[in-house]
Structure 1
Amino acid sequence: MNETHHEPTESEPQPKAAEHRETDPKPSPAIYVASLADYNNGVLHGKWIDAAREPEAIQADINDILDSSREPNAEEWAIHDYEQFGRWRVNEYDSLEQVSRIARGIAEHGYAYAAWADVFDGEEASCDIDSFHEAYLGHYDSVTDYVEQMADDLGYEQQLDTLPEHLRDYVRIDYAAIARDLHLSGDIATVDDPNGGLWIFRTNH
């Protein structure tokens, strides 16, 4: 059996990402911020804040929480809860710059952005949004589906038609083998989508 192996490179076109995910409702990441002076005195004083905004806007809402506290020294705060951040985990004392950056990426690009940030442990998430676009290969049911789409876009099956007719029935592209080798090479990273399928990212961009 002949096997055609292909790995994504900068110079070659990538298959079009699955489009069905684009119709899903966009997430609205939010954080619950509480005044620590109140919390330490047994009072829950805080509110949910839209996190997909500039850090200054988030800080203004936090200032409102602290200013409305009945505690005389309400100056410290912490993130006590969060929602719609996908796979990204927001910690109690994460910087507003990081929270804002991740939240805005998720609001614009969906949970694929959260998965990407999770894969790179936040390092890539501090880069320009172009890094996400360069890395994201799409949402697919499997790596094999990605490879089949890539092969179709590059015309691999059509190339088989150029073989002598008596050989065509004996030559197949082993998509599963390509998918396995591509995954094992480390050139791509995959993240399971809890709702089915997976997100695929290029790691060597």
Structure 2
Amino acid sequence: MCSEIRIYVACLAAYNSGYLHGAWIDACDELDDIQEQVQSILKSSPIEDAEEYAIHDYEGFDGYGLSEYEGLESVQETASFIDEYPAIGGELLNHFGGSLEDAKKAAEESYSGCYKSLDDYAEELTDNTSEIPENLAYYIDYERMGRDMEMSGDIYTIETAHDEVHIFWSH
């Protein structure tokens, strides 16, 4: 899957001289391999002594945006995280303002799972924590419980598709 997470690296000297010179690079490759590929692009540039590059395009980062001048180490770490958590990685990074450390911590420690809806989660959580008498079960509003948990800040959600809500505890 990681081969679908890639960046297009362009030689800036060539670009500024009116040439499109660059290549797509698998962003999950080892950092040394990525750096070698970038150096190869610069060495084969139609402009002599080219030294600078930029990321002119990217694919597979699942809604997370890269800077044109993002460091290669950051790109590789981000791509590897998204590859490890393909359904939620990009959105987690967005949720935490690009903090890879916070996104990793949430994925590893705060993730409660994927549910059809927030009310399904509230119902499962309630069923697992207490025995509700059958005659009272019909009076519980799980939709409201789920909404209240989210609005209070106890949980946050990432919706990745229709009927696909990922739930995370905030604390």
Does TM, scored on the shorter chain, surpass 0.5?
yes
The residue aligned with 1:143 is 118
> Which structure's residues are more often strand, by fraction?
2
Q: In structure 2, which of residues 27, 31, 45 is the aligned counterpart of residue 69 of structure 1?
A: 45
Q: For 1:93 and 1:199, how far apart are their aligned partners in 2?
A: 31
The residue aligned with 2:160 is 193
- TM superposition shift of 1:196: 5.3
TM-score (norm 2): 0.87
Contact 2:110-2:169 within 8 A present in 1 as well: yes
Q: For 1:86 and 1:52, how far apart are their aligned partners in 2?
A: 14
Q: In structure 2, which of residues 141, 144, 150 is the aligned counterpart of residue 183 of structure 1?
A: 150
Q: 1:126 aligned to 2:111?
A: no
- TM superposition shift of 1:170: 4.0
The gaps in structure 1 that reach 5 residues or longer are 1-24, 162-167
TM-score (norm 1): 0.73
Instruction: Look up the equivalent residue of 2:125 and give its one-letter code.
Output: M
- RMSD (Å), alpha carbons: 2.3
Q: For 1:81 and 1:87, how far apart are their aligned partners in 2?
A: 13
Q: For 1:42 and 1:122, how far apart are their aligned partners in 2?
A: 33
Cα 1:53–1:202 shift into 2, 3 Å: farther
Deviation above 6 Å: which 4+ runs of structure 1?
none
Instruction: Look up the equivalent residue of 1:150 and give its one-letter code.
Output: L
The residue aligned with 1:105 is 81
> Which structure's residues are more often helix, by fraction?
2
- Deviation per CA, 1:101-133, whole angstroms, max 9, x where unpaired? 11001112213111111100122x135945421
Contact 1:27-1:110 within 8 A present in 2 as well: no
Sequence identity (%): 38
Q: Which moved more, 1:25-34 or 1:61-70?
A: 25-34
The gaps in structure 2 that reach 5 residues or longer are none
- TM superposition shift of 1:39: 0.6
**Larger of the two Rg values belongs to structure:** 1
Q: 1:41 aligned to 2:7?
A: no
Q: Which moved more, 1:127-136 or 1:181-190?
A: 127-136
Contact 1:138-1:199 within 8 A present in 2 as well: yes
Instruction: Look up the equivalent residue of 2:25 and give its one-letter code.
Output: I
Cα 1:128–1:181 shift into 2, 3 Å: closer
Contact 2:3-2:27 within 8 A present in 1 as well: no
Contact 1:187-1:203 within 8 A present in 2 as well: yes
The residue aligned with 1:169 is 135
Q: Higher relative contact order by CA 8 Å / sep ≥ 6: 1 or 2?
A: 1
